[in-house]
Chain A
Amino acid sequence: MTASTTPTYIGARVARKEDPRLITGEGTFTDDVTLPGMAYLTLVRSPHAHARIRRIDTTAAKKEPGVVAVFTGKDLEATGMLPVFITVPSMSGSKHMPIATDKARYAGDAVAAVVADSREAAKRAADLIAVDYEPLPIVVDAMKALEPGAPIVHEELGSNLVFTYPVKGGDIDKAFKDAEVKISQRIVNQRLIPNAIEPRAVTAKFEAGELTLWSTTQIPHFVQLIAALNLGLGQNKVRVIAPEVGGGFGSKLQVYAEELLVGFLAKTLGRPVKWTEERREGYLATIHGRDHVSDVELAAKRDGTILGLRVRTVANVGAYLQAFAPGIPTILHVFIVPGAYRIPAFDYEMRGAYTNTTPVDAYRGAGRPEAAYLIERMVDRLADEIRMDPAEVRRKNFIAADAFPFNTISGITYDSGNYEPALDRALAMADYKGFEKRRAEAKTRGNYRGIGISSYVEICGLAPSKVNAALGVGWGGYESARIRVHATGSVQVFTGTSPHGQGHETSWAQIAADALGISPNDIEVRHGDTFESPGMGVGTFGSRSLAVGGVAVHKAAEKVREKVVQIGAHLLEASPADVVVAGGKVFVKGVPEKAKNFGDISMAAYLANNLPEGMEPGLEATVYYDPPNFTFPFGTHIAEVEIDGETGTVQIVKYSACDDCGRQINPMIVEGQLHGGITQGIGQALYEGAVYDSDGQLLSGSMMEYHVPTAEDVPPFDLDSTETLTNTNPLGVKGIGEAGTIGSTPAAVNAVIDALSPLGIKHLDMPLTPEKLWRAIRASGEGRR
């Protein structure tokens, strides 16, 4: 922040401005947008995971009352292909049409579309469409997909290999030669289903040559861009609106088939069209997350010093490459695997594989939870092997506080960090020293108690545009903001970010308020409408919004402030250097009684008859901010669990975390992000997992089978924070949207394994379900009671 600003609202627990309308049901979501003459789209989805489409008979469907039109893939090829925004070296990209034309590649792949006067009629007609499928051999497992003779998902590509992505640093052979301890472990990061509370929806109308498209998206500007290019419209004729959006977690970070289809159909049919996803449909047709299988080897000395890390991973990308899919297991994963540690040698080879499953892309944390889980499990395996306290193994290998900016062995530069204080505070909160007593007490009740640590580092602030280009990301990583002060002094902030629960309306108002010397209540933050915001907004994902978009708001506000100072100085006949902007007033330092109101200044800017010589009228500013580096938040999470010795049920009895996301704009929002994030990460550790059978059928196909944890499943969280500013941006902010998810999964798993380690158990794959633990306990010879 500039020296002229004394933060008043930055750092304050300002109540969320968006909440009153959301909790009173006054928000407008995409499915709430209902227009006269609207028709409804339903998609017919393949029940087969892999099948050639021989013939589609739509005769009966077309006769169903209320049906407007029935389409197959060939009728809709004019929508063009779905985009992939990242190209990594050696990548073998898939042709991905909104409706499959030749074959279905996963159960849920769309094969036909019906538009009708009502949802019910569309669905009835969809049931009447007869598709003649020729079932083909199916591959679900990514490892098997890369074996010779595996069924090929895209024949034209010749194999299921999407890419091979190697990253190396240091002398890995020497590390293993010098090693006193070598640990090998297969680590599976299971597939997850995102489950945003609001399913996807798209509504569109085409009037007077202009397409307006409402969508549940995190990236309205990309939807606008691709819709314009694919549908042959000027970008000025495509208005995309992301109204209220009920969560995304990365699952709405796409340009989906339905967005192009609804836009195309509204344009061709000449009437508004809506599509709303059903929850079960979403389990198949909205992207999944994670799904890595890694073979990991760690080289170390007996004193706990890590010497090297070798990893071979296969990432399951599903049946098609989605928008950001090539970047998740590579850019956002491989580079951060060394985590908080100084590791002298690193050798990672990531391979992507096509399979007959729902496509996989970003899911909260996106690549980084997989990285943190991998390294944090290995550190615990090392501690167990050399009988050293896991906290001390971490401490021993931490990158020292005076080593920042730190160039990692994987080739990136951490901006700032100070890992030990966060560890120490978390250990104190968790009463780590007193734990063994609690373990012993639980034992008397026949239960197993364990404690688990996770010290994570993650990547936020995506991303410097030139780095994006070098990594194969086909677009800049900046963010935009425009601040408009009206003549009367009311202020609007237009942001390129697209919040869907994050509270930007509050945080951005706090940032602008401090620069403009007014209250956040007098600032309206508007987002998600491509005709209101600056020309391009990149959107909300990867914990980037604050460190890029929030900084853009700050910079735009500083520009406006500068003009306020100039006008104020002119009106007060003072030097700009002596002008103070605070409390809604503009005055000369030491003479607050002779103040001009903020509104007097804005009025003067528009009256324009008494402005400094040569100054343009008006009071607004637009900024595109391109960050010089990523930011790297960190922290330590500690979970304490108790396992029912008879049933294997895990209860998290205590959870402590100390996170460092740099400067906090609104600590209440930071805590909210952590509460949700930690719960989500615990979900992966204990409950969640997409389960396919060998025919590619999703067995965990609804919320009746797939458990998304709630407040009932988790204890109250003890949260603390340290503040290590980044010099990447003038606010010193890093990002907090994903940290909870990244930190919590390994903490919970490490705690469970710690609880069972007296039984000789070294590792178990997630989710750590009661039956899995019961079997492990039984196999160890205990637990038979």
Chain B
Amino acid sequence: MRTAAALRSRAEEEAARLPALLARAEQLAGTVLLGEHGRRRAGLGDDFWQYRPVQPGDPRRMIDWRRSARSDDRFVREREWQIAQSVMLWVDQSASMGFTSARTLPEKGDRARDIALATAILLIRGGERVGLTGTLLPPRRGRNQVLRLAEFFSQAADQDFGVPEHRAMIPNARALFVSDFLGPVEELTTALTKAADRGIRGVLLQVLDPVEEAFPFHGRTIFESMGGSIAHETLKASDLKDRYLARLAERKAHLAQLCAATGWQYGQHHTQASTQSALLWVWQALDRGGA
């Protein structure tokens, strides 16, 4: 049962969280200079591209009378062709992303949301349409979309490991998947192959905690997943280190190979590294926001 008070406090909590996320993402986005975005040819767009003499078939209303008045010919004002790209984001909201190994390090999920939202802000500033995978939030443009994204990012999912949504993918769009990709890899394979089928190219950013790379454990230990659904007991954790690291490398290789096969880009980010470097990499990987 939800009382009004509980609802309100939760709402306030959410509201308080949102600006922080937004502010962080805005700040992060401010560090990236937007490159040129035009298509370098005449087309639909806002920016002036060139004047050209009227050719047969041009509608009258296309004639730029001001320019034409200065000479004998009539001219048509052409605009630069600008297209908007749809970019779909998927940020793993599962419990596994809530992990952090030290108080000084952010949770993986926080870092993933920061990067994703900052990318979204940059894209929206560049005039692209940004949305979430699936049907929840279709790609739109405009600042309000950032707020909606932030709102969706603030909702945590219940399951232990995140599964990318691969329904209702817009063909020929771009995509950004951010997760630790430690969960079952089959769903991801499905999603990527499906995306590749539809001509969607994208970026896979794996966010890991340093502990997940180092495995500095000893002694008798029961390892539990963040949600508690999976557990593994060992009597000598240090013995497992080599095999764990081998499996992790195998997982990374698998992801890289999967990306290569589908034309995606695969990147890694560790939470002790700076957010900005990850954002820059994502931005580059997304062709500087271009198509």
A binds B: no
